Amino acid sequence: MIGALIMTAALMGSSAASETGFDRPDLLALAEPAVQAELASADQHVLVVRHARKISPDCNGMSCPLSAQGEAMVARLGALIGAEPVDRAYASAACRTRLTAAAGGRDVVAHQAVDGYAQDCTEGETISRLRAEAFEETRTDPVRWTLAGEHSNTSCLWMIEFAGAEAAGEAGCNAEGRLEETAYGDVFWLYRTGEDWHLTVLRGAFEVEAE
């Protein structure tokens, strides 16, 4: 059902997206028609995604892998992004966020999952880079396309940082700055026009049915 709804939305938006000459037409086709023109004219884009589905809902360690469904979600995300790699890919240090951000076709630059928690994806390894460094690079050294793989809570940090708390709340972040535990497959699309950042959401864009 989810796949059918996404396909219908894509077909409805595909002609408008193709007419713009936009460099990520499959993503643009999933956006609400009312924001497609603004997206197409934006100077900078940051795609924030919660990691794809894990091998088990209660697997929360840094090394927790993706399930087969999660791997299919990553493939779906990569197809939406297209053959041209993103300019930058960021992720928290967890394996599942790194694997999801790899859909961008670019080497993933990892940061601590939570400030002060240095554990890396690989047991025994640590990481010192902070998420704030990714934020700073995004602001001061902009590139056209960035993909950020995060968690249910840290996805909201990107939205709050760039679009503000109100926009993040409208996108699904609760008062604690966290997405619903059942929220998978959404693309939180931050985009900049001039000096202003905006946020739109592609609901279920890279969700796939479990086999």
Tokens 């080497």 identify what position? 107
Q: Which pLDDT does position 210 carry in this prediction? A: 79
Q: Which pLDDT does position 19 carry in this prediction? A: 53
Return the CATH number at 113.
3.40.50.1240
- What pLDDT digit, counting tens, does each position of 23-75 carry? 999 999 999 999 999 999 999 999 999 999 999 988 989 999 999 999 999 99
Residue 107 falls inside a structural domain: yes
Distance CA 207, CA 211 (A): 12
Pairing of strands 145-150, 187-193: unpaired
Q: Which pLDDT does position 197 carry in this prediction? A: 99
Q: Which pLDDT does position 154 carry in this prediction? A: 98
* Average pLDDT of the residues of the chain: 92
Q: Which pLDDT does position 3 carry in this prediction? A: 44
Residue 133 falls inside a structural domain: yes
Residue 10 falls inside a structural domain: no
Count structural domains, the chain: 1
Q: Are the C-beta atoms of residues 65 and 77 closer than 8 Å to each other?
A: no
User: 66: domain range?
Assistant: 34-202
Query: Which residues of the chain have a pLDDT value below 70?
Result: 1-20
Q: Which pLDDT does position 211 carry in this prediction? A: 75
Residue 177 falls inside a structural domain: yes
Lookup: tokens for 115 = 């400030």
Q: Which pLDDT does position 20 carry in this prediction? A: 58
Residue 27 falls inside a structural domain: no
